[in-house]
Structure 1
Amino acid sequence: MAEDGATRDGKLRLKKTVALVGMMGAGKTAVGRALAARLGVPFLDSDSEIEQAAAMSIAEIFARDGEPFFREREYEVIARLLEEERGILSTGGGAFLAEATRNVISDKGVSLWLNADLDLLWNRVKHRDTRPLLRTPDPYATLKQIYEARVPVYALADISVTSRPEYAIEDMVDQVIDALKARPDVLETL
């Protein structure tokens, strides 16, 4: 990547932080890292920032302090990251559910929903034990319940990009860049 923002898509300049929202397993981190690299901007991860500040994992924070405490810290971190620098921000799966978090994202950046269907999400998360919300007797049923509750809220995002099982990470990045190009207030072609 050239330092002047030149990409295989031409010269692009990100004008606002893009906050990636969506379910666990939607690809917010993987797609976010690749997208940030392609655009030559920082990759920011709210969960990593929270873990660093607390010196413990998200699962440990949930266990020790509960989800409401975690969501308050999450809002604070997202608000700070949106203020500090323009880049690609990966948010936790539940972050966008909080109205205050949705509002700060809309005020300071733009939300982009990585919309993956339930089967794709399950295939991506079923062999991982790093998801505190799925530590239940029936993780698939739990994922389905979370998915059904959250999809209407994710649908409030400013931009939506559908994930497909056949898409590699770079295919998703292409789809996201195409969606961002349709928003000149977010991504400018130079």
Structure 2
Amino acid sequence: MAEKRNIFLVGPMGAGKSTIGRQLAQQLSMEFVDSDNEIETRAGADIGWIFDIEGEAGFRKREERIISELTQRQGLVLSTGGGAVLSKDTRNHLSARGIVIYLKTTVDKQYERTQRDKKRPLLQGVDDVRQVLEELAKVRNPLYEEVADIVLPTDEQSAKLMANQIIDLIDNFQN
């Protein structure tokens, strides 16, 4: 890959965006940024606290601003939060400034991967996590599809295999 185009990973929580993103950045010698981690670092607080104090709308504003800024960098692998695609501006920035890869996963796999995770504000204190994941999927999956240049299922692959697959697809995408 002669020029290092930005690579943006979108998809639901538990799809493997952060894990695959780190692997991908390492293999391509690119910078890796997780937008959720960046939000926490800049806010000096975790996402759960931001949701508690500012609500989801306040968090989404922060997310939109930070992703707008990050997508202007070069040579970046960016893992976005599951709800980042809710913003039309964010979808436009992602589409215009890099290759967008939708890491697709099933609700069953999401449930399996997130059930012990206490850092998911939308899943805290809910009676039926699976139902919440299904409702989020109904709203968000079409947006992931809309913004994606490449769609890849992640359910049965290791992060390393996924990263290799992405590298192959990107090489073909650019030629």
Q: Normalising by structure 1, what TM-score? A: 0.86
1:152 aligns with 2:142: yes
Using the TM superposition, give the Cα deviation of residue 145 of structure 1 relative to its aligned residue in structure 2, in angstroms.
Answer: 1.1
| Structure 1 residue 56 corresponds to structure 2 residue 75 | no
The match for 1:174 among 164, 168, 172 is 164
Give secondary structure in 2 for the equivalent of 1:113.
strand
Match of 1:83, SS state, is coil
Shift of 1:164: 2.5
Distance 1:92 1:154 in 2: 12
Q: Deviations over 1:35-62 (max 9, x none)?
A: 0000000001111111011100011101
Matches of 1:13 and 1:116 in 2, distance apart?
31
Which structure has the larger Rg? 1
Gaps of 5+ in 1: 1-11, 186-190
How much does 1:152 deviate? 1.0
- What is the aligned partner in structure 1 of residue 89 from structure 2? 100
> Deviation at 1:22?
0.2
Higher strand share: 1
RMSD: 1.3
Change (3 A) 1:33 1:14: farther
Query: Which segments of structure 1 move beyond 2 Å, counting only runs of 4 or more?
Result: 12-15
Hey, what's the Cα distance between the residues in 2 that align with 1:91 and 1:13?
25
Q: Which of residues 2, 9, 13 is equivalent to 1:24?
A: 13
Letter in 2 for 1:131: R
Report the CA distance between 1:178 and its aligned residue: 2.1
Aligned identity (percent) is 38
3-state SS of the aligned residue for 2:71? helix
- Pairing 1:125–2:90 present: no
Check if 1:138 corresponds to 2:154.
no
- 5+ residue gaps, structure 2: none
Q: Deviation of residue 179 (structure 1)? A: 1.9
Local SS of the residue matching 2:142: helix
Shift of 1:72: 1.1
| Structure in which a larger fraction of residues adopt helix | 2
Question: CA contact under 8 A between 1:31 and 1:169: conserved in structure 2?
Answer: yes
| Cα distance in 1 for residues equivalent to 2:169 and 2:48 | 33
Pair 1:161-2:164 in alignment: no
Cross-structure match for 2:67 = 78
Q: Does residue 37 of the first structure (1) align with residue 26 of the second (2)?
A: yes
Report how many aligned residue pairs link the two structures: 173
Is the CA contact (8 Å cut-off) linking 1:14 and 1:39 kept in structure 2? no
Q: 1:104 to 1:38 in 2, by over 3 A?
A: same
Indicate conservation of the 8 Å contact 2:100/2:149, yes or no: yes
Q: Could you say what secondary structure the match of 1:160 adopts?
A: strand
Q: Deviations over 1:93-139 (max 9, x none)?
A: 00012111000111222211001111111111111111100111111
SS in structure 2 of the partner of residue 127 of structure 1: coil
